[in-house]
Structure 1
């Protein structure tokens, strides 16, 4: 069907723009249930400042509260054990369950973000976490703690973490790596501040009052999350008046874009087991927004044929949030619409006007009090770089988008077009239900098992699992161990704070070094130092030796979070980042689940030394097992190249 002219009411008629749509082809899409529909591309427009700084501050505070509670459980351990009469070996299982679900539920939380938006998810996570900790205040047995403090709170943690960490990357482009670094250091500072605070409150009023205090902090995140306002997004729709023309998706869309045919039925791809399970195709089955636009504008296809006939149209719709858009965003919209290569005097002009309501965007208080509804068409998790935390300038996709576009034709949205995957019109029109295509497609993308067939990726996953088996042990047990070794309690309450402070420094410094050094080697060296220092911490219990250990452990263990996306992209490419991250979160969660319970058993039978030696050994093993990953990856690429040549 042909698009109708678009008209969005405006308070500033002078902002109306005329543009001429180019050819497109009608696309029956059997990946979405066999219905004939158009292919659309959805991109968000970053602000790179302005309200983005408010969002950044809110994300920092949210992560501060979240990890400040989740990773300082050890400060409550003694009082909880005495009150509930549960051994300190079994009780940390509660924290392990919550941290495990914190990671394992990542794909599900990402799917909900794609369906309902960042703000709805962080506010829901706030309610779930606050209610779970409030219920834990009344707990009198181990089982109820596992259910509420562990399972339900862990899921709330996951929703908050995913929303707060991911939204910053959508508000910034040029300053994205800096903004993400600031936001994620909220975790380190939260651990640093909350550890002594928890110890003080626990000694003063008990663990129940401290948990009630934590419940109130999570309740604050509900209001902080209100700042996560929707961004301006653009929908690029391709349609045609010719019902006989169809297009299918190529199995490898990274370079080819779309394949055009003139026939009655579409040749579909054979769905994978994951796609059959979730009833949706993964992101890799769809072209990028840049491919959609370029194919329309230039009339290019991967195969020769009559597809160059002028029968198609390109329709661009601005989905403006209720609070309006900034002048910079308006300029970007005007620029992309008025690009010289989008003009064609032989086609009908489509009038597009952008809604600007400046009265709603004046002042911070006005923005906070104005409730903006989620834009239903928004699909943030269709971006390949959603989980990327490194410098965009290092990405081939960013370099290509900047170099291949002439200066006079740049719109400022080339990179967004290059990393955003297309959607179908059926997907964008779905408004009801929880597990719609928007949610199921993210699950299919993050849970796809294709990478698990690679030895290199299995090494990466095992490295994550092994490191997280040892990761939680110092956070939970170092205060108790050092008190038993005769270090004053007031100093013991600061050890986890030192870990948090050095962790913040490590995220920034090691992240910068990773831009100059091979990230796999940096990760391996860091894990070796973190693991070795954990083992050696058993041989000297002087105050300064323990402070040195906490600094070294916190500084180098930060690599596990800060280098994950960089390592994945360097080996498997940006288009596999979402899939690899989803699977790695499962392995990290599994490692966290066994971390402190295993250490508790070893503590009971052999003492704290055995628990810390075991934790350090697992961290070292995680650093060693990742070393052959580059070699395995080269062998896999060579094998794939030879196979393709033989075909």
Structure 2
């Protein structure tokens, strides 16, 4: 029985006769067919849309401290209680990552972004009518946080889909929106709160979030260009010479189709063939759709059909540079797993090989994207466990400077004035501080300084991390250690210049935490485990974010000073960098243990 080509627009639900002699293939390839990244063109509009989404979402998140002060005045709650609004917002945004991945995998980046913009804007709008602080926990924290999660994930994923060679540049431009948004939204919030109060401010922010619908519309799917070898085939009732040997005219047969003449025309990412010499195998090799279970038509689109199954989807660095780094590595045992993991790179050498994997897409044994991202088997690896603990510690202290550094500056300025004027009454000191017009004048540039440092850090560290000779783990460790030390030294700052330097250093070194996490994970765990490792990291980062700001607020409420808050935040960040120093030792221990097992089994 033979098969003819089917019209692309026809229904794919075609009953195939059981009498057909077919080959049942048990192990299909793990990677879905992918359209080649254009590395330009419409992709730059996608980068622009991602940039603007970072401006809005990260800008609101990291500039929330201005609104927080108004909430303290309005509802008369302590710092620790009020800080829960922002911490829940950040925590839900991060923890919802694995769940949002399911929606992106099924519905695509465009639809998910639009839904997130509507959801986030709606909950910000109803938050403006909140009668108490606890309602804001649900509306701003949970509602808007989940909306931001739906917006944020596609903004990262779609850039990876459109870029491969220039992915590092494209992603760098996109995430710079975080720094630009933090500076711009912080200035906007100060103006709105001063002139229109916090309720009207939330309504304007809701409008900004809804505008992300326009940016989401730019997340267009990449159309897969089909060639004859990729078009599904229809069943013909019987095999005969007329079916298989149709005369050709101008390179096409009279019945409108042309069979691939050799196996080289077959899309190997879409079909897998075992070796066989029987007649049915020969027919299947010339007409690939003849093999049962080999055709995966559901992978015809990039966004709405399995985009999260790509191993490199969370990789923010250049794929070309990743290959260059692999080539520059020696043949030491510690580098072999890294090199082997790169075989699954799109369009890379070995990307067509069949991998043994328990989670194979488009089979009955397929694991859902949620199971893949939250697969706890990684916790058997001590290197990954240590990295998770490090990220947890970093996330606890990461958000405190954005919210409390301006308040620390005001306190230190007031103490300086008190000492200078020999004023002993703190209330009188603060009143004098306000009368002099210095309450916000000397602190208004602190958050923008953090934003500028973040932008510069992501660019510089991203370029540095792409150099094959750079040990990215060492850069990551150094930046986190310096970042934590800088936060703790902020307690000793007393002048405007000192605080601006402290803010810039924090932002610059914190860029490593945001920008280098994915590439360091590839170095440590391999590309084939990046999605799993990154999903678990997002979850634990979210859990830590729930605790970070309330802990800083609690320490302030307890000791009536921000010193303890900044010592705790900086100490956690510095410790997260220092503890990773032992990772090379752990890797050597693992290699030694594995070698002993191999030797014992061989004997």
> Which residue does 1:464 correspond to in 2?
391
Q: CA deviation at 1:416?
A: 10
1:189-239 CA distance string (max 9 Å, x none): 111111121112111111111111110001000122111111113686999
Q: Distance in 1 between matches of 2:588 and 2:529?
A: 16
> Which residue does 1:510 correspond to in 2?
461
> Which residue does 2:450 correspond to in 1?
499
> Which residue does 1:622 correspond to in 2?
576
Conserved in 2, the CA contact under 8 Å of 1:109 and 1:162? yes
1:41-94 CA distance string (max 9 Å, x none): 321232221111111111110111010001111111221111122222211111
Q: Distance in 2 between matches of 1:639 and 1:395?
A: 28
Partner SS for 1:170:
helix
Asked if 1:477 corresponds to 2:404, the answer is yes
Q: Which consecutive unaligned segments of at least 5 residues does structure 1 have?
A: 10-22, 30-36, 242-288, 318-346, 349-372, 401-411, 430-435
Conserved in 1, the CA contact under 8 Å of 2:223 and 2:301? no
> Which residue does 2:533 correspond to in 1?
580
Q: Distance in 2 between matches of 1:437 and 1:115?
A: 18
> Which residue does 2:24 correspond to in 1?
26
Conserved in 2, the CA contact under 8 Å of 1:398 and 1:415? no
- State the superposition RMSD in angstroms: 3.7
> Which residue does 2:474 correspond to in 1?
521
Would the alpha carbon gap of residues 151 and 40 (structure 1) be closer, same or farther in structure 2, given more than 3 Å must change? closer
Conserved in 2, the CA contact under 8 Å of 1:129 and 1:218? yes
Would the alpha carbon gap of residues 40 and 151 (structure 1) be closer, same or farther in structure 2, given more than 3 Å must change? closer
> Which residue does 1:532 correspond to in 2?
485
Q: How does 1:330-345 map to 2 (within 5 A)?
A: none
Would the alpha carbon gap of residues 118 and 65 (structure 1) be closer, same or farther in structure 2, given more than 3 Å must change? same
Q: Which consecutive unaligned segments of at least 5 residues does structure 2 have?
A: 10-20, 236-265, 292-299, 328-344, 414-437
Conserved in 1, the CA contact under 8 Å of 2:221 and 2:302? yes
Would the alpha carbon gap of residues 570 and 140 (structure 1) be closer, same or farther in structure 2, given more than 3 Å must change? same
Asked if 1:91 corresponds to 2:91, the answer is no
1:455 maps to which of 371, 382, 394: 382
Would the alpha carbon gap of residues 376 and 520 (structure 1) be closer, same or farther in structure 2, given more than 3 Å must change? closer
Q: How does 1:226-237 map to 2 (within 5 A)?
A: 226-233=217-224
> Which residue does 2:147 correspond to in 1?
156
> Which residue does 2:282 correspond to in 1?
310
Conserved in 2, the CA contact under 8 Å of 1:452 and 1:458? yes
Conserved in 2, the CA contact under 8 Å of 1:41 and 1:237? no
Q: How does 1:546-565 map to 2 (within 5 A)?
A: 546-565=499-518
Q: CA deviation at 1:161?
A: 0.7
Would the alpha carbon gap of residues 500 and 375 (structure 1) be closer, same or farther in structure 2, given more than 3 Å must change? closer
Q: CA deviation at 1:177?
A: 1.1
Conserved in 2, the CA contact under 8 Å of 1:471 and 1:619? yes
> Which residue does 1:130 correspond to in 2?
121
Q: Distance in 1 between matches of 2:325 and 2:352?
A: 9
Asked if 1:218 corresponds to 2:209, the answer is yes
Q: CA deviation at 1:443?
A: 0.9
Asked if 1:489 corresponds to 2:440, the answer is yes
Q: Distance in 1 between matches of 2:488 and 2:324?
A: 42
Partner SS for 1:227:
coil
> Which residue does 2:368 correspond to in 1?
441
Would the alpha carbon gap of residues 6 and 627 (structure 1) be closer, same or farther in structure 2, given more than 3 Å must change? farther
Q: Distance in 1 between matches of 2:217 and 2:314?
A: 22
1:229-278 CA distance string (max 9 Å, x none): 1111368699999xxxxxxxxxxxxxxxxxxxxxxxxxxxxxxxxxxxxx
1:332-365 CA distance string (max 9 Å, x none): xxxxxxxxxxxxxxx99xxxxxxxxxxxxxxxxx
Q: Distance in 2 between matches of 1:77 and 1:485?
A: 20
1:436-460 CA distance string (max 9 Å, x none): 999x621121111121111111110
Q: CA deviation at 1:376?
A: 8.4
Conserved in 2, the CA contact under 8 Å of 1:42 and 1:379? no
1:6-54 CA distance string (max 9 Å, x none): 4348xxxxxxxxxxxxx9943357xxxxxxx999832123222111111
Q: Distance in 2 between matches of 1:201 and 1:533?
A: 31
Q: CA deviation at 1:393?
A: 2.0
Q: CA deviation at 1:394?
A: 3.1
Partner SS for 2:34:
strand
2:520 maps to which of 567, 571, 577: 567
Partner SS for 1:451:
helix
2:193 maps to which of 192, 202, 222: 202
Q: Distance in 2 between matches of 1:621 and 1:239?
A: 60
1:67 maps to which of 58, 66, 88: 58
2:591 maps to which of 634, 637, 645: 637
Conserved in 2, the CA contact under 8 Å of 1:68 and 1:193? yes
Q: Distance in 2 between matches of 1:489 and 1:513?
A: 37
Partner SS for 1:385:
coil
Conserved in 2, the CA contact under 8 Å of 1:45 and 1:232? no
Conserved in 2, the CA contact under 8 Å of 1:133 and 1:149? yes
Q: TM-score, normalised by structure 1?
A: 0.71
Conserved in 1, the CA contact under 8 Å of 2:450 and 2:503? yes
Partner SS for 1:533:
helix
Q: Distance in 2 between matches of 1:443 and 1:234?
A: 30
Q: Distance in 1 between matches of 2:76 and 2:286?
A: 68
Q: CA deviation at 1:629?
A: 1.6
Q: Distance in 1 between matches of 2:352 and 2:313?
A: 9
Q: Distance in 2 between matches of 1:38 and 1:525?
A: 40
Conserved in 2, the CA contact under 8 Å of 1:239 and 1:314? no
> Which residue does 1:7 correspond to in 2?
7
Q: Distance in 1 between matches of 2:304 and 2:551?
A: 46
Q: Distance in 1 between matches of 2:443 and 2:179?
A: 18
Q: Distance in 2 between matches of 1:377 and 1:193?
A: 33
Partner SS for 2:32:
strand
Conserved in 2, the CA contact under 8 Å of 1:239 and 1:312? no
Would the alpha carbon gap of residues 581 and 291 (structure 1) be closer, same or farther in structure 2, given more than 3 Å must change? farther
Q: Distance in 1 between matches of 2:173 and 2:286?
A: 39
Q: Distance in 1 between matches of 2:514 and 2:269?
A: 34
Q: Distance in 2 between matches of 1:209 and 1:547?
A: 30
Conserved in 1, the CA contact under 8 Å of 2:6 and 2:234? no
Q: CA deviation at 1:306?
A: 8.0
Partner SS for 2:201:
helix
Q: CA deviation at 1:524?
A: 1.1
Q: Distance in 2 between matches of 1:631 and 1:3?
A: 58
Q: TM-score, normalised by structure 2?
A: 0.76
Q: Distance in 2 between matches of 1:540 and 1:420?
A: 57
Q: How does 1:37-52 map to 2 (within 5 A)?
A: 41-52=32-43
